[in-house]
Chains A and B, each alone.
Chain A
């Protein structure tokens, strides 16, 4: 099997946004839409400010909130790791945009679909690298197969200053002096899973229960009228 892991070395990221542009070209995105963005951030207090970059994009979650919320099944998780969307099946309801904790879904008005980073699954299938990895000037972006013992990804993600994104095969190496709090954090998705796995089934159970009760009532009256030979009327 293949299980992809993605690694970004923020200590050498130059913030040049070549990845953003290469991705837009590869995916035919309008200039105002981007699957991967590079945010500059600062830590510390003046005059000891430290400036660095962090990439914001889809982390291909192990249990994606976007796929859990998707009512059509257009968004789905693949065994190899990438979370994909079948754009023809997407109805544009934007549930996934509400669900994703990282704001990684991109709504393409022209297409009427909530698109996303595919980890270039099509390229990976033919042995190529994602556009962002291929184009990265400093080599900060690396993709590898966790199930391949020879993959160089293992050495990278086991470095002491590397942080794994919780619940995702996605790793950042932090620049010196930058705490992991600088990385995006997944919050508030509990209600998405609770809605999908508790509230929706419970609500449907209530409707089913009501239907069963009234069928039982109708059956009771039918039996009564057959036994009694006459029809019921409203006098008790």
Chain B
């Protein structure tokens, strides 16, 4: 496993190393299991979907939801703890800490999102929007895992508790679905953000992009 020894995150010519293998692996295990859970769960929410797909498909979805839930529950945290403990700790701490530049970033972000010219303040390793996404993902993971496993045994729970658990699991899923649509769009389509996509594949991003987007982080990176 790639370590997070000082210097893993570095400048090298025109590139910057942004995510170690453990971070990328955890991201993709989380992302793909999340999307499978969302798709198989949405079939129970969208009117007419169950009738359209039929009983056999719906039962298979139910089973898939439970199997993929195991991956969603047990993979990401240990991978991050084993392969990127220090950087993960910093990510979690920074996600819940907002400074004045973060608030100014958020105020200007809607313009940037729709392509209106705006100067955004310098950001650290994660910008304020990514911090908000991180908060939703961290809390959302916990809520979905706890309520999800409770629902596997829903008929054994006190009725009132089971009803609240179902409502919570259902609404949190849809809320996270809305958040993830925005995340996927920004990461893979939005012209200002998508140059960073390779950070989650090879681990490397263009230096010019890192400098423009995460200046406070970029300036502290060891370089060659």
Contact = CB atoms under 8 A, between A and B. Distances in A.
Interface string B161-186: 01110110011011101110110010
A165 to B, nearest CB: 18
A191 B164 contact: yes
A214 B187 CA distance: 12
Contacts of B192: 232, 234, 236
B179 A221 contact: no
Interface in A193-213: 194-195, 199-200, 202-204, 206-207, 209-211, 213
Query: Chain A binding site: helix, strand, loop or mixed by DSSP?
Result: helix
Contact of A207 (B44, B112, B181): B181
A195 to B, nearest CB: 4
B6 interface: no
Interface centre among A99, A217, A220, A235 (most CB of B within 10 A): A217
Contact of A224 (B115, B159, B173, B185): B115
Contacts of A232: 115, 191-192
Contact of B163 (A103, A188, A209, A234): A188
B170 A199 contact: yes
B50 A72 contact: yes
A99 B192 CA distance: 47
A236 B118 contact: yes
A214 B185 contact: yes
Interface in B182-224: 182, 185, 189-193, 195, 206, 208-209, 212-213
A91 B65 CA distance: 14
B171 A199 contact: yes
B112 to A, nearest CB: 7
Contacts of A107: 155
Given A210-B178, A220-B114, A221-B115, A91 B163 contact: no
Interface string B144-161: 000000000011000110
B163 A98 contact: yes
A72 B58 CA distance: 9
Given A98-B162, A207-B177, A221 B155 contact: no
Contacts of B81: none
B135 to A, nearest CB: 17
A233 interface: yes
B163 A191 contact: yes
Contacts of B208: 234-235
Interface string B42-70: 00111000110001001100100000000
B117 interface: yes
Contacts of B114: 216-217, 220
Given A92-B59, A200-B45, A234 B174 contact: no
A203 B189 contact: no
A72 B174 contact: no
A224 B167 CA distance: 42
Contacts of A30: none
Closest 3 CB pairs of A and B: A203-B174, A232-B191, A195-B167
Interface of B: 44-46, 50-51, 55, 58-59, 62, 112-115, 117-120, 154-155, 159-160, 162-164, 166-167, 170-171, 173-175, 177-179, 181-182, 185, 189-193, 195, 206, 208-209, 212-213
Interface of A: 71-73, 88-95, 97-99, 101, 103, 107, 112, 187-189, 191-192, 194-195, 199-200, 202-204, 206-207, 209-211, 213-214, 216-218, 220-221, 224-225, 231-236
